Structure 1
C-alpha cells in the first residue's frame, strides 16, 4: 500500500481542518456515512468539472476515508508525478486498450485496504452512456460499489448506499443510475 496525503500525520490533520472550513464556507453539507468496508469501488458522479476533484478530496478528508483515484497518465509526468501519486493518484493510459480493469483488479487483490474512486462517465465531458470499467473492476475484485455523489444544486455531497453487483450489468446499471436521477453537476449540460 502506498503512502498518501491521507495518511501523512500532520498534513492529514491540517487538510481535514482546511476541508471542514472550506466546505462550510462554500455552503456544502455532507450526507450519508463512511462505508463500513475495507475495499470498494467508489463511483463519483456527476463528474462535470475540475471542481469535482477538489470537492471529492475535501469530502474524503471530512469522512476520514483514504481514497485512491484514477487520472490520465499525462497528469503524472514530470515533477507533478510524485505529488499526484502522494495525493492518491493512479495513472492510467486512456488512449488505448491497456488492460486497465485487470490492473485495478490486481491492485485490489494485492491490498488489504483499498478504495478506488472512478467517475463512471470517464470524463468531464458529456457522454451518451457511462463507461463500464467501474463495474467490471468491482465484479472482478469481488468488492462492492459505493455510490458517491456531488449535487451542486443542493450543495450536498457524500455517500449513498453500497451496491453489490449481481453480474447483470444492464440491470445493475439501471439501479445505480436511478440513484443519481435529479442530481446536478457543476456544469449540468454535461451530465
Structure 2
C-alpha cells in the first residue's frame, strides 16, 4: 500500500523517473547529492519507497519540534545533536552492527548551501561498519533520481572522495548555484 501510493505520487503526480541498478543491500549508506533544497527530503523519501526500499535519514535536532518531530521520526528521521561531544559516527557504526537491516541516507554537503568541503561522516560510518556506499544523484533538470553506482571505502579517503564527487558532477540540484564539488585534484 505504502509503495503503491509513493509510486503513484513519485511517477504519476510529480512525473519523476528513476534509474536504479545497484543491489538492494541489507545494510548500506545512501550518499545523496546534490542537496540544495528542503524538497530533496520529500522527493528522496518518495523515490526510496517507490522503488521498494527504505531508509532513515539524519537531520539537525532543531527540526524535530512539535508537530514536525513526530512526522520526521515516523519517516525514519534521526535527530543529530551537533553541540554534543559524542561520536555520532561511532554511535551509527554500533547501531549498524547490531541491526540485521540498516539503510541510512546522508547528504555529504551537510547543508543546502554551496559547500566545497564535504562532510566525511558517511564515509567513516560505512568504513567502520564495512558496508557499501550507494551514490544517489538527484537531478531536478531531468526529474530523475539515479542509483547506479556503489563502492566500499578503500581506506584511501582522498581517492574515494574524489571518485564520489566526480559521480555527482553531472547532476543538477533544484538550485544548481548551491552545489559545489570543490577541488578534485
Structure-2 residue corresponding to 1:162? 150
Moved more, 86-95 or 131-140: 86-95
Structure-1 residue corresponding to 2:137? 149
Would you say the 8 A contact 1:120–1:131 is kept in 2? Answer: yes
Distance 1:78 1:152 in 2: 30
Higher helix share: 1
Report the secondary structure of 2:49's partner residue.
Answer: helix
Would you say the 8 A contact 1:39–1:113 is kept in 2? Answer: yes
Report the secondary structure of 1:125's partner residue.
Answer: coil
> Match for 1:132 among 120, 125, 129?
120
> Match for 1:28 among 16, 27, 52?
16
Q: Tell me if 1:118 matches 2:82.
A: no
Question: How far is the alpha carbon of 1:68 from its aligned partner?
Answer: 0.6
Structure-2 residue corresponding to 1:19? 6
Q: Tell me if 1:46 matches 2:31.
A: no
Gaps of 5+ in 2: 180-185
Measured on the aligned residues, the alpha-carbon RMSD in Å equals: 1.5
Aligned pairs, how many? 178
Gaps of 5+ in 1: 1-12
Would you say the 8 A contact 2:22–2:148 is kept in 1? Answer: no
Would you say the 8 A contact 1:35–1:146 is kept in 2? Answer: no
Question: How far is the alpha carbon of 1:64 from its aligned partner?
Answer: 0.9
User: Normalized against structure 2, the TM-score is what?
Assistant: 0.90
> Match for 1:106 among 94, 114, 118?
94
Report the secondary structure of 2:159's partner residue.
Answer: helix
Question: How far is the alpha carbon of 1:77 from its aligned partner?
Answer: 3.3
Would you say the 8 A contact 2:7–2:51 is kept in 1? Answer: no
Q: Tell me if 1:60 matches 2:48.
A: yes
Would you say the 8 A contact 2:22–2:150 is kept in 1? Answer: no
1:7-37 CA deviation, whole Å, 9 max, x = no partner? xxxxxx1x42332222233221110135331
User: Normalized against structure 1, the TM-score is what?
Assistant: 0.87
